[in-house]
Amino acid sequence: MDQLADETSRMSLSSSYLYFDDEGHTRWQGETSGLPLLDVLIEHHQMTNNPEPERSQWTSQNGRTISDWFPDRMPRKTATNPELTWKLVSSVIVPELMDSLVQCFLGTTYYLMPFLHLPTFIADYANPRKWGDPGFAALIVAICCLSSRHIDDPRVRADPTDSNSAGTQWFELFVQLRSLGGADRPTIYTVQAVLIAGVYAVGLGKLSKAFALLAEAATLSIDGGLHRSVDDYDAFDPIEDEVRKRTFWCVYLWDKQAAAHFGRPPMIRLRDCDVGEPAVVDDEFITRDGISNQPPESESRMSAFVSVIRVFVVLEAIVDVPPPPGGNSPFLARAASALGNRKRDAELREAEALLDEIVRTTPPYWAHSVDTMTSPDVLRITQSQRLHCAEQFARMLIHRHRMSELVAERMQSGGQTEQGEAECDAMRQAHSCALQIISSHMQTASKGLMTYFGVHVIHQLTAAGRTLVAVLLNCHSPLMQPYISSALEALRSCVNLLRRFSGRYVCGQRSGDMMEEFCRVTQIPLECSRQDASGGSNRPPWVRPVRKKTPSSARSPGGSGGSPSHHGSPEEFNASDAFLDLSGGAGPKSPQVPSQPFSSQNIGAFPLGGGQPGPPFDNGAGGPMDVMPQEGNVPMSPSEILALLNEGTVDMAALVMQPDGHPSEFYGGMSGAGASTNGGTLHMGSP
Q: How far apart are CA 358 and CA 33, in angstroms?
A: 37
Phi-psi region of 592 (alpha: psi -120 to 50; beta: other; left: phi over 0): beta
615 pLDDT above the threshold of 50: no
Find, among 140, 125, 130, 132, the residue nearest to 80 by Cα: 132
Name the DSSP letter for residue 613.
B
Mean pLDDT across 31-38 = 84
- The amino acid present at 367, given as its one-letter code, is A
Per-residue pLDDT band at 335 (split at 50, 70, 90) = confident
First and final C-alpha spacing in the chain:
62
529 pLDDT above the threshold of 90: no
277 pLDDT above the threshold of 50: yes
Q: In a 3-state reduction of DSSP, which class is residue 387?
A: helix
pLDDT at res. 51? 57
The DSSP line for 498-557 is HHHHTTT-HHHHHHHHHHHHHHHHHT---SS---GGGTGGGS-----PPPPSS--TTT-G
Distances (CA, A) of 410 to 180, 405, 483, 555, 567: 57, 9, 21, 10, 19
Give percent above pLDDT 90 in the chain: 53
284 pLDDT above the threshold of 90: yes
Per-residue pLDDT band at 538 (split at 50, 70, 90) = confident
Secondary structure tally for the chain: helices H, strands E: 23, 2
Per-residue pLDDT band at 370 (split at 50, 70, 90) = very high
Q: Which residues contact 403 (CB under 8 A, 6 or more apart)?
A: 423, 426, 427, 430, 470, 474
pLDDT at res. 344? 67
Distances (CA, A) of 641 to 18, 28, 477, 530, 595: 64, 61, 19, 19, 13
Which tops the pLDDT comparison, 225 or 16?
A: 225
Per-residue pLDDT band at 198 (split at 50, 70, 90) = very high
466 pLDDT above the threshold of 60: yes
Mean pLDDT across 597-607 = 38
438-458 pLDDT, tens per residue? 999 999 999 999 989 989 999
Mean pLDDT across 235-254 = 97
Asked if residues 25 and 185 have their Cβ atoms less than 8 Å apart, the reply is: yes
Mean pLDDT across 23-39 = 84
pLDDT at res. 647? 41
pLDDT at res. 651? 41
Mean pLDDT across 527-537 = 53
Which residues lie across from 27 on neighbouring strands?
19
Distances (CA, A) of 596 to 250, 494, 600, 602, 651: 37, 14, 9, 8, 9
Name the DSSP letter for residue 340.
S
552-578 pLDDT, tens per residue? 655 433 333 333 333 333 334 343 433
Q: Is the pTM of this model over 0.85?
A: no
Give percent above pLDDT 70 in the chain: 71
Asked if residues 147 and 109 have their Cβ atoms less than 8 Å apart, the reply is: yes
Q: How far apart are CA 364 and CA 380, in angstroms?
A: 11
Tell me the backbone φ, ψ of residue 166, rounded to 5 degrees: -60, 120
pLDDT at res. 346? 72
Instruction: Determine which of 41-50, 185-194, 553-562 has the lowest per-residue pLDDT on average.
Output: 553-562
- The amino acid present at 345, given as its one-letter code, is D
